[in-house]
A and B are shown apart, each in its own frame.
Chain A
Amino acid sequence: MISTSVNELVQTLGRQQRVVYALLLREMRNRYGKYYLGYLWAFIMPVFRVAVLTVLHALIFESNTIYGAPPVVFFFLGVWPFLLFLNAYMRSIGSFSSYRSLFVYRTVKPIDAWIAAVVTELAIYLIILILCYLAAVWWGLDFAIDKPLEVIAVVALVYILGATMGLIVETISVNIPDVGRAGRLARRPLFWASGVFFTIDMLPPAIKPYLIWNPVLHATDLIRGMALSEYTPEGSLSYLCYWTLGMTIFALMYYRQHRFDVASR
């Protein structure tokens, strides 16, 4: 009895893995296949943002270090975790609708399309991160990371947070399309409020009590604390943990409750 159900589980997982893999290959091609510069765009976007922030900083402020680090490094440490969150979130919104016509296959479920979208995005961003790091070293900006495991933990948490928040928005927008639109509008306020170009320590006392609720701000702050020797982060790893755990549980429960509506639309 037990062995048959284990067998069934293994078969089901095998089937789902095939489906996710097939969707993943689709994602890879659909994402950047239509542009001449292809995957280079995924590299250009974060580099462009860091460059703009660095130039603005140089124009406005006199100093050429922030917490003892060159501004380029400081902004890179904010842009990169933020974009990781934002892309997981933005890619999840719309992940169902692009494969809707394939849900007629019994084995292809909307959540497979979401997994494929999220995994593809992560793979692309990890490659970019490595390229950026190599470029920085070649440039002569050698910065050592003291606590690599904690960096990985923060990166994973903030990524899952973005992906599951996107899953919630996408699931709701199946029945209420306006939610998908509204969800996409969040991108700009998030950019200003998530510590891309500031630390918690820099916040004026008037707005700090409000912005401190934003879990993404904690993530960028923690990353900076781990990489910049002169900055002690105020962000809390456990706060970020609670958010990610809560969002994950809620997103999966909400999707499960609405999974048939999603498949039929």
Chain B
Amino acid sequence: MILLENISKSYPLEEGGRRQVFNNLSLVIPPGVNVGMLGANGAGKSTLLRLIGGSEVPDRGRVTGISKVSPPFGLASGISTAMTGRDNVKFASRINGDNTQAMSERIARVEAFAEIGEYFLQPVRTYSSGMRARLAFAISMAFDYEYYLMDELTAVGDRAFRMKAEAAFKEKRGRACVILASHSAKQLLAECEAGIYVGNGTAAYFPSIRDAIKIYHANES
């Protein structure tokens, strides 16, 4: 269960002033459901994920009821491009407080799951976006969270990767949920029961993902 109460969030703009992303947003995400998040580019999906994941603090309001939530993994967040894939795993493992044995298990798990071959020992900046997605996804899956936050991560992978991601979600079902930001209605229908539509400075929760997709399509056209 995740509770957002009266959240306001703005960012400073380079030319001065601030851009208001959310104003007085309240949202309840009930326990035990997988949630798909929809919205136009720049509507604030990533910001909402970052607020839920605790990577950011709202200007006003609070996020409570948080169980163990992963940081929002995306193509540009959660992994450092200057480091190798392996070093990224080590970093995540160290800040998690693993001992040496747990760390080597973690590395083995991620390497096996990501399937990026020799690139695992190369800096992430040399990766294709599909490979980055594989690595970020594998790292997040190597840790036990109650909520996995994914920012457009599963959209860039090839078919094999998507199948693998789906299987991983299925395997975690019952113990953990995912909150998935994506533009692919097909994928969201397959993975999620509920939906959140983000737009116009606010966000709304729908118990059925179909309703969220309908609103999204209605606002798009």
Contact = CB atoms under 8 A, between A and B. Distances in A.
Interface in B49-108: 50, 53-57, 71-73, 76-83, 87, 90-92, 94-95, 97
A22 B91 contact: yes
A104 B91 contact: no
Contacts of A29: 87
B95 A108 contact: yes
Given A19-B95, A99-B80, A260-B56, A105 B71 contact: yes
B55 A263 contact: yes
Interface string B1-34: 0000000000110100000000000000000000
A118 B159 CA distance: 45
B56 A175 contact: no
A22 B83 CA distance: 12
A261 B9 CA distance: 11
A253 to B, nearest CB: 18
Contacts of B81: 101
Nearest to A261: B12
B210 to A, nearest CB: 30
A18 interface: yes
B55 A105 contact: yes
Contacts, number: 62
Contacts of A102: 78, 80, 91
Contacts of B90: 22
Interface residues of B, number: 27
A8 to B, nearest CB: 16
A183 to B, nearest CB: 18
Contacts of A22: 90-91, 94-95
A5 interface: no
A106 interface: yes
Contacts of A263: 55-57
Nearest to A175: B12
B95 A105 contact: yes
A19 B71 CA distance: 15
Given A26-B83, A261-B12, A263-B56, A104 B72 contact: yes
Contacts of B79: 101
A104 B78 CA distance: 6
Contact of B76 (A15, A101, A175, A260): A101
A26 B91 contact: yes
A264 interface: yes
Which of B53, B76, B82 has the most A CB atoms < 10 Å from its CB? B82
A25 B95 CA distance: 12
Contacts of A236: none
Nearest to A103: B55
A30 B87 CA distance: 11
Contacts of A264: 11, 50, 56
Contacts of B55: 103-106, 263
Interface string B133-164: 00000000000000000000000000000000
22 contacts: A22-B94, A26-B80, A26-B83, A26-B87, A26-B91, A30-B83, A98-B82, A101-B77, A101-B79, A101-B81, A102-B78, A102-B91, A104-B73, A104-B78, A105-B78, A105-B92, A106-B71, A108-B95, A261-B11, A261-B12, A263-B56, A264-B56
Given A18-B95, A26-B80, A26-B91, 8 more contacts: A22-B90, A26-B83, A30-B82, A99-B80, A101-B76, A101-B81, A103-B55, A107-B95
Interface of B: 11-12, 14, 50, 53-57, 71-73, 76-83, 87, 90-92, 94-95, 97
Interface of A: 15, 18-19, 21-22, 25-26, 29-30, 98-99, 101-108, 175, 260-261, 263-264
